[in-house]
Amino acid sequence: MDDSRNSIGETVMQCAVASDGQDGNAIQSPAIASADNGNAMQSPAITPTDNGNVMQSSAIASTDNDVAQKNRNLPFVKHSPIWETLESMEIFQKMPQRPHFRPLEKYKEDSREGLAIGYMVTFTSVVERILQLQFSSPASTIISTLETLSDLKNNGFDVGSISGRLKELLSKKEMEGQLLEELKGVEMQIMERVLENNKIDEEIHEIHSKMEELEEKLALASSRAKLKHSEVDALKSKIDVIVHDIQNAKNDFERLLTAPW
């Protein structure tokens, strides 16, 4: 850009000298006038190259200004070459970040860039940790990650979508916890019912045992009753015989009374 300015300056100076020469010499030859006109005509010919250099320099200056503007918004200046590596990582391409790192202003200036790099690394590790989560992962892991995201958010990281997704995952883990507690309660009820059923089964076994014993007693009693019935029937038959004999004796008695002497 300085060369362009010098070139333009030299051209301006040449035109000025030519102009002074014309004023000093009132009468000039046509050849000199033509030469002067040629120089005047040559000056615009330099312009496209100069304009190209000016535009290129302006673009570089614009880029430098953008970088300077970004650095001006940060509480430190990016000196470390690791920034280029970090910012070119796939995660930052998918989820562009523009952290302001304002909380780092309370630290010494020499420490700020290192802490900022640490936050950048933390962001990538948090995303990787989330991608490695399993349903069996403890809820405390998600809660800890949310706390880390809160710290990153305070430093200007855009963690809204990540935080929202983690909260949804945490709600599922909390639901799992509630369902596990409910499952334990149902399992306890099953165990209680099983114990009660075992007691009932023991009672039923005792009742069956008593029923078998009673059935044996019933069978024995029935047998004895049948025997007694048989004995009663036999005795009744004997009564009939006795009654018949009594009747015969009575008849004989009466016959004898009425019999002739």
94 and 149: one domain? yes
CA–CA gap between residue 172 and residue 161 (Å, rounded)? 17
DSSP 98: -
54 and 86: one domain? no
Residue 147 lies inside a defined structural domain of this protein: yes
CA–CA gap between residue 56 and residue 50 (Å, rounded)? 10
CA–CA gap between residue 62 and residue 41 (Å, rounded)? 33
57 and 95: one domain? no
Tokens 């000039």 correspond to 28
Tell me which amino acid residue 128 is.
E
66 and 91: one domain? no
Give the end of a domain, one of 131, 158, 185. 158
Residue 238 lies inside a defined structural domain of this protein: no
Non-local (6+) Cβ contacts of 60 within 8 A are none
Q: pLDDT tens, 189-245?
A: 999 999 999 999 999 999 999 999 999 999 999 999 999 999 999 998 999 999 999
CA–CA gap between residue 130 and residue 171 (Å, rounded)? 15
Residue 86 lies inside a defined structural domain of this protein: yes
Residue 191 lies inside a defined structural domain of this protein: no
| Mean pLDDT of all residues in 50-60 | 46
Q: pLDDT tens, 141-188?
A: 999 999 999 999 999 999 999 999 999 999 999 999 999 999 999 999
101 and 141: one domain? yes
52 and 20: one domain? yes
Nearest Cα to 165, choosing from 100, 96, 95? Answer: 95
pLDDT-derived band at 111, boundaries 50, 70, 90: very high
pLDDT-derived band at 259, boundaries 50, 70, 90: confident
Determine how many CB atoms are found less than 10 A away from the CB of residue 102. 13
Distances (CA, A) of 185 to 10, 174, 189, 261: 94, 17, 6, 111
Residue 254 lies inside a defined structural domain of this protein: no
Give the end of a domain, one of 20, 51, 73. 73
Total domain count for the chain? 2
| Mean pLDDT of all residues in 69-91 | 88
Domain that includes residue 52, residue range: 2-73
The first and second tokens of residue 228, run together, are 């007694």
12 and 52: one domain? yes
64 and 88: one domain? no
pLDDT-derived band at 78, boundaries 50, 70, 90: very high
* 91 contacts 126 by C-beta, under 8 angstroms: no
pTM above 0.75, yes or no: no
Residue 33 lies inside a defined structural domain of this protein: yes
* 126 contacts 148 by C-beta, under 8 angstroms: yes
Residue 9 lies inside a defined structural domain of this protein: yes
| Mean pLDDT of all residues in 49-56 | 46
Residue 208 lies inside a defined structural domain of this protein: no
pLDDT of residue 33: 31
Tokens 């014309």 correspond to 22
Give the end of a domain, one of 158, 177, 197. 158
pLDDT of residue 73: 84
